[in-house]
Amino acid sequence: MVLKYFTLMVWAPLFLVPILTTGQNFYKENEPKTLSVKIGLGAGTFYAAPRPFFDSLVSQVMPVFSLGVGKRLGSHFSLNSNLSFQRYGNKHYLVDDLGEGSLKPFYQGFSYAFEITPTFNLMPTYHHLNRPKLDFTLGIGIGYLATYRAEKFVFQDKEYTFNFLEHAAYIPIRSSIIFTIDSWSNLATEGVFFYTQLEEGGSITSFNQYGDHFAQVNLVYRRLIK
């Protein structure tokens, strides 16, 4: 009899552990997931004022890399943050209209943009397990960007480098089409329009018409984490 109870005590936990583990995983999976992270890759124009003297930059499109965190606050509403990075520049010295020997600069820069965007989604989402297969979002937020650029001039066989750092607030308008991959992941195509406000008194204020607005198209992967 003692041996029988001893054997039962040894084998019982081996059967109970998988059952308890399955139950815990089931409960964990069914907890609503509202916090997500995202990574994006795309292309777009960029904030690089002043542009009037740099024809090769006006119509230029460059790669964009972005990271973000989002929090779902309701069935139709979420709050998203986004940090993006973009590089730009021209590659050659160009002859200026001022005459032979006066050259346009070698122009390179980096743009960093951070924003917080309240976002509305068309299809209601009450739980991450029953998200719609297809959804549409629209968000309008507020952000701040910094642009660093280096300009190299050649004059009378001498090269001069000038560095500039510009700041500007902007209003992002983000619209996306979201495809559900699984219960934890989404893939989206996203279009973004940026409306910027140059700082008053900045060195590039007179070039507003060339640098105020830019746009991007991104492919975004989003993963629910909590």
pLDDT tens digit sequence for 25-81: 544 557 889 999 999 999 998 876 655 455 566 678 899 999 999 999 999 999 999
158 Cβ contact list (under 8 Å, min separation 6): none
DSSP 183: S
Q: 84 with 196, same domain?
A: yes
Residues 108 and 4 in one domain: no
- Judgement on whether residues 65 and 38 belong to the same structural domain of the protein: yes
For the chain, the 3-state helix, strand and coil shares in percent, each to the nearest 5, are: 20, 55, 25
**DSSP reduced 3-state for 91:** coil
More confident position, 9 or 58: 58
Cis? peptide before 13, omega within 30° of 0: no
Number of Cα atoms under 13 Å in the Cβ half of residue 152: 13
Question: Are 6 and 74 within one domain?
Answer: no
pLDDT, residue 162, reads 84
**Residue 196 half-sphere exposure toward CB, CA atoms < 13 A:** 28
198, pLDDT greater than 70: no
What are the pLDDT digits (tens) for 199-208? 544 444 444 4
Same-domain status, 21 and 85: no
Encoded amino acid at 121, one letter: N
Q: Are residues 158 and 217 in the same domain?
A: yes
- Can you give the residue range of the structural domain that contains 73? 32-224
Mean pLDDT of the chain: 79
Residues 84, 69 share a domain: yes
Residues 25 and 116 in one domain: no
| 159 and 215 co-located in one domain | yes
Q: How does pLDDT run across 132-159, given as a tens digit for each residue?
A: 999 999 999 999 999 888 887 777 778 7
194 within 8 A of 142, measured Cβ to Cβ = no
State whether 65 and 150 are in the same domain. yes
* Count of C-beta atoms within a 10 Å radius of residue 205: 13
> Can you say whether the dihedral through the CA atoms of 201, 204, 208, 213 is positive or negative?
negative
| Pair (196, 128) in one structural domain | yes
Determine the Cα–Cα distance for residues 191 and 176; give it in Å rounded to an integer: 6
Tell me how many domains the chain contains: 2
CATH number of the domain that residue 121 is part of: 2.40.160.20
Same domain, yes or no: 117 and 66: yes
What mean pLDDT is predicted for residues 157-186? Answer: 90
Q: What is the tens place of the pLDDT at every residue in 80-113?
A: 999 999 998 876 655 555 555 555 667 788 999 9
Between CA 169 and CA 115 the distance in angstroms is 9
Closest CA to 115 of 194, 37, 40: 194
